[in-house]
Structure 1
Amino acid sequence: MSAGKEGVWEVDLDSFNFSDYGNYNYTNEGNTCCLGVVCTQQESMAFESVFLPVLYSLAMVVGLLGNGLVLGVLFQLRRTWSVTDTFILHLAVADTLLLLTLPFWALEAIQGWTFGSGLCKLTGAIFRINFYSGIFLLACISLDRYLSIVHAVQMYSRRKPWVVQASCLSVWLFCLLLSIPDWVFLEQVVDPRRGEKPECTHNYLRYEASIDDWRIASRMVYHVVGFIIPAVVMVYCYSCILLRLRGGSRGPQKQKAIRVILALVVVFFISWTPYNITLLVDTIQTNQTHSSHTCASTTALDVSLTVTAALGYLHCSVNPVLYTFVGVKFRRHLLDMLRALGCKLKSQVRPTSRKSSVWTMVSSGDTTYSSGF
């Protein structure tokens, strides 16, 4: 079973409990079967049982604190929300819900999945929905900024706030559709290679279809819909924005905006590119002859999937810093909120327009655009 997951782990040919299925000729003599060498995963399990709980705990604490502050400030400014603020609200909700599933995966790494198949389906689907929602909302923010800054076109009108809410609702519904395989295939399954420890995995043998077909289809959807398309949208939109900003005078605000744009793109790719490459390698290796693989290489790949997947999930903890804490108006309201709670703080943030977003405004020529920085 692959330790890295596009939401949750999945069963492969070597990891499933074949004794439950009479159609497969499975023996454990000499640690081999008709499909080639079957390696135990004790080393990767030992690594996961320490690494995942620590990292997931850190991500949950930092992420819940950051997203909690975002939601708190947005709640205070609910009467003056901009379009970008609305997207950020949904992004913070998606990141928060995703973070709340991490304790289940941390406990699974320690003691196995002991919550039953029902909670396995629910938790896995919640993870999947919010995982995709976070990425798609980032792409929506990029597209909105691109249209407003590069083409001076307001995709959404303040007079019709329901339009942006409808867009966010469409994102949630689309992600709900993408979670249908989780509702169908996720189960509490025992893996003989992992010490008979029950785990929440995709049981692609459930309907006697080709496991490779389901596996490849699932991963192709993830690679294309969950990474390639949003990445292309972000790179194109932010590249055009950078070219537009570099074309005029370069004041302090514009220079800061360029730095923030580069940070957004760089952090996104640092977070998700290693996992996508590792997952692609795992997919290719799975479809090759199993006899050509060694247990050492399999263990190394499992550990790599665990590390790169965890790095990707940390992205939802970094989002509040990148998308909100850089905003002048947000920092001012955050400091005001902390002072109201009794904190003694000195503010050097200059006041901004009440009509702006919680981000600063970037000027290009004689026109001012709400860039979300």
Structure 2
Amino acid sequence: MTHDKRPQIAPVTSRAEEADMDVDLGGFLSQNGTYDYDKDYEYKPDDESEGSQAVLIPLLYSAVMVVGQLGNVLLLVILIQKRRSWSISDIFILHLGVADALLLATLPLRAVQAAEHGWRFGTELCKISGAIFNINFYCGIFLLACISVDRCLSIVHNTQLFTHNKPATAHLSCLFAWFISLILTIPDWIFLTVVTEDKGTVCRNDYSQSVTNGRLLSRLRHHTLGLLLPAAVLIFCCVRVLLRLQQRSKSSHKQTAFMVLLPLVVVFFLCWVPYNITLIVDTFRNGPKEPLDGSLKTALMVTAALGCVHACLRPLLYFGLCDNFRKRTVALLTCTTDESQGSLCELGVGEEARPDQSQEAVEEMKPMTSVEQQVQSPQC
């Protein structure tokens, strides 16, 4: 038995096979840099939100325009029919209806802008549309403040700011509210223009060519004279009237009239306060030359649409709260005659000092007459 003592020879591999077996780690190990997510990763927003806005916002504007114009046209027609017997409340309702009708007339322009993501109507219509939007807000809050001041003076102090014998005072007050509203919209006529942005053209205020702090001064004018001061007057008068009415055990005509005014004030604030809060955030967040970011731009669009909704809610409130307006509306739609007297909507402006005083006088005279009868009865 023989043993093979020849040395074991390892298998021979070719250089090509050795090259295939080598692993090149140099490329992987040489990647020592960090990945910059801010520069290398670009976030592309989902177009679904913009697509939904392009559908929902125009639909909202269209519904508001149709319902609001029908209600305000009906309101103005009824007021024209009873123009010979206008009360002080009817005068204020007339001016509020005209302001709402003007705003509703500009809603098709806003609907097209929201649908096409751009303004297509030129600079002139941009200025007119934006100015009417603010005029409606200013005129609405100023007229409500006038009515609330009259109610506060009548209920708390037993005096009146407006009287039925002098309707010219009410007309002058309404015209003065229109004049102040026009004065406050002067910056809109100056700075509103069509601005080209990344995704198209928009109608907004452009302060890039204005003087230093022009944007801040314009916004402060809006927030103080247009919002804070009239709102403070409204809230103060409403609180004083509510506290006064709580002290009265019996219901009165004044209390009924104020309960009609109060929902109008509450709905006005619910519709307009969100837009003004968003505008305040924009004032202190973005500079005059900086474009709006996506979230703030969307918030301004939605809250502005909510403010426009108020123009169609006011006739609905009249129909639900005011018996005379409801009766005249039904009579107009059914082509019948209505002989209801008094104001179209009992806001109580300039009319309620006498009924309550006479009622209180009757209540005070009742115990006196009973005593006199007791005294005179033995003599009979």
TM-score range, shorter chain: 0.7 to 0.9
Q: Are 1:337 and 2:332 an aligned pair?
A: yes
Aligned equivalent of 2:84: 79
Aligned equivalent of 1:166: 172
Aligned equivalent of 1:266: 266
Q: CA deviation at 1:47?
A: 4.6
- Assess if the C-alpha contact under 8 Å between 2:260 and 2:322 holds in 1: no
Aligned equivalent of 2:207: 204
Q: CA deviation at 1:44?
A: 6.5
CA RMSD of aligned residues (A): 3.4
Aligned equivalent of 1:70: 75
Q: Percent identical across equivalent pairs?
A: 44
Letter in 1 for 2:202: E
Q: 1:90 aligns with which of 95, 100, 106?
A: 95
Letter in 1 for 2:345: V
Q: CA deviation at 1:69?
A: 2.0
Aligned equivalent of 2:56: 51
Deviations 1:82-108 (A, max 9, x none): 111101100000011011111111111
Change in CA separation of 1:200 and 1:305 when aligned onto 2, cut-off 3 Å: closer
- State the TM-score, normalizing by the size of structure 1: 0.73
Q: CA deviation at 1:219?
A: 2.2
- Assess if the C-alpha contact under 8 Å between 2:142 and 2:230 holds in 1: yes
Q: CA deviation at 1:271?
A: 1.6
State how 1:1-373 maps to structure 2 within 5 Å.
Answer: 45-111=50-116, 112-192=118-198, 195=199, 197-207=200-210, 209-210=211-212, 213-251=213-251, 259-286=259-286, 298-323=293-318, 325-340=320-335, 354-356=341-343, 358-359=345-346, 364=356, 366-367=358-359
Cα distance in 2, alignment partners of residues 339 and 142 from structure 1 = 35
Change in CA separation of 1:78 and 1:31 when aligned onto 2, cut-off 3 Å: farther
Cα distance in 1, alignment partners of residues 232 and 357 from structure 2 = 28
Deviations 1:11-60 (A, max 9, x none): xxxxxxxxxxxxxxxxxxx999xxxx999996775454223211111111
Q: CA deviation at 1:367?
A: 5.0
- Assess if the C-alpha contact under 8 Å between 1:45 and 1:109 holds in 2: no
Q: CA deviation at 1:146?
A: 1.9
Cα distance in 1, alignment partners of residues 254 and 153 from structure 2 = 17
Change in CA separation of 1:118 and 1:301 when aligned onto 2, cut-off 3 Å: closer
Change in CA separation of 1:321 and 1:225 when aligned onto 2, cut-off 3 Å: farther
Deviations 1:262-294 (A, max 9, x none): 433432332222222222223332259x9xxxx
- State the TM-score, normalizing by the size of structure 2: 0.72
- Assess if the C-alpha contact under 8 Å between 1:248 and 1:365 holds in 2: no
Cα distance in 1, alignment partners of residues 222 and 131 from structure 2 = 14
Q: Which structure 1 residue ranges, 5 or more long, are not aligned?
A: 1-29, 369-373
Letter in 2 for 1:310: A
Cα distance in 1, alignment partners of residues 47 and 179 from structure 2 = 39
Q: Which structure 2 residue ranges, 5 or more long, are not aligned?
A: 1-36, 361-380
Q: CA deviation at 1:322?
A: 2.9
> What is the number of equivalent residue pairs in this alignment?
314
Q: CA deviation at 1:202?
A: 1.6
